[in-house]
């Protein structure tokens, strides 16, 4: 079993990269941001005051979170409800960095994410996968792209999302901030195609001795 960790800032292209890489390797693809987005949606839906860290932490700790696998992807149910249609709502984009800065929220989701790595080989993308969730994996990547390219990608997706603000919050928080792990292989995707990034990763995985059968 293997875990491939892919971290990077918002709209760096890491979700598309992870999806394609997992498809090529025939393993599970886990978008950890969708876990933080789902938790944020549940908090908004419950109308909890967003600055009340202790109420939000207790709410998340008490929540029934079911994570099942379907066609190589994770499917979440929070207290029996499917958050999927709301994960990219403007209100979620706006508040997800705040909710994911709360250490007790992170503890719950980190445990859940780690449990997936015990069940299956996977590609997991996020902000702290190589640094905190799976620090022991030898397969760590950090995907970056220039701010202009990232803003253009979000704009093309038609979303209201201030990625610069989110990046500043995600990088400056105390609990598991976005950092480049010392042992991560950094790829600037600004001028690369999706296939280009994925083949660079596959080349690196082979070099590191992972038995890649495509
Ligand atoms: O990958 P994304 O942009 O969908 O992630 C949404 C937010 O979730 C991101 O702004 C910060 C948070 N997040 C996190 O704190 N840790 C992760 N491993 C993944 C996402």
Enter the pTM of the model: 0.96
Tokens 């789902």 belong to 38
Q: What is the CATH number of the domain that holds 183?
A: 3.40.50.300
Q: How many domains is the chain built from?
A: 1
Residue 71 forms part of a structural domain? yes
Task: Decide if 214 is inside a domain.
Answer: no
CA-CA distance, 171 to 167, in Å (whole number)?
Answer: 6
| Percent of residues in the chain assigned helix, strand, coil, to nearest 5 | 50, 15, 35
Q: Which two tokens stand for residue 214?
A: 């495509």
- The answer, yes or no, to whether any atom of ligand 1 lies below 6 A from the CB of 13, is no
Task: Give 85's DSSP letter.
Answer: G
Q: State the residue range of the domain holding 107.
A: 3-207
- Is the CB of residue 109 less than 8 Å from the CB of residue 154? no
Whether 97 lines ligand 1, by a CB cut-off of 6 Å, is yes
Ligand 1 centroid, distance to 210 Cα (angstroms): 27
β-bridge mates for residue 2, sequence order: none
| 32 touches 39 (CB < 8 A) | no
pLDDT in tens, the chain (214 residues): 999 999 999 999 999 999 999 999 999 999 999 999 999 999 999 999 999 999 999 999 999 999 999 999 999 999 999 999 999 999 999 999 999 999 999 999 999 999 999 999 999 999 999 999 999 999 999 999 998 899 888 888 877 778 889 999 999 999 999 999 999 999 999 999 999 999 999 999 999 999 887 7
């Amino acid at each position: 079993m293997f875990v491939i960790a892919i971290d990077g800032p918002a709209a760096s292209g890491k979700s598309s990269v992870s999806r394609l890489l997992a498809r090529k390797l025939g393993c599970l693809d886990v978008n950890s941001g969708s876990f933080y987005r789902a938790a944020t949606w549940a908090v908004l839906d419950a109308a909890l005051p967003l600055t009340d860290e202790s109420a939000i932490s207790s709410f998340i700790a008490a929540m029934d979170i079911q994570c099942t696998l379907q066609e190589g992807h994770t499917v979440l149910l929070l207290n029996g409800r499917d958050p999927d249609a709301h994960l990219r709502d403007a209100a979620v984009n706006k508040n997800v960095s705040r909710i994911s800065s709360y250490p007790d929220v992170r503890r719950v989701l980190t445990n859940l994410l780690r449990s997936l790595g015990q069940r299956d080989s996977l590609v997991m993308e996020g902000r702290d996968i190589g640094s905190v969730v799976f620090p022991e994996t030898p397969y760590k990547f950090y995907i970056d792209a220039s701010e202009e390219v990232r803003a253009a990608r979000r704009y093309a997706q038609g979303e209201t999302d201030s990625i610069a603000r989110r990046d500043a919050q995600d990088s400056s928080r105390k609990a598991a901030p976005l950092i480049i792990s010392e042992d991560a292989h950094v790829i600037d995707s600004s001028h690369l195609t999706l296939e280009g990034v994925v083949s660079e990763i596959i080349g690196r995985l082979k070099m590191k001795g992972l038995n890649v059968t495509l």
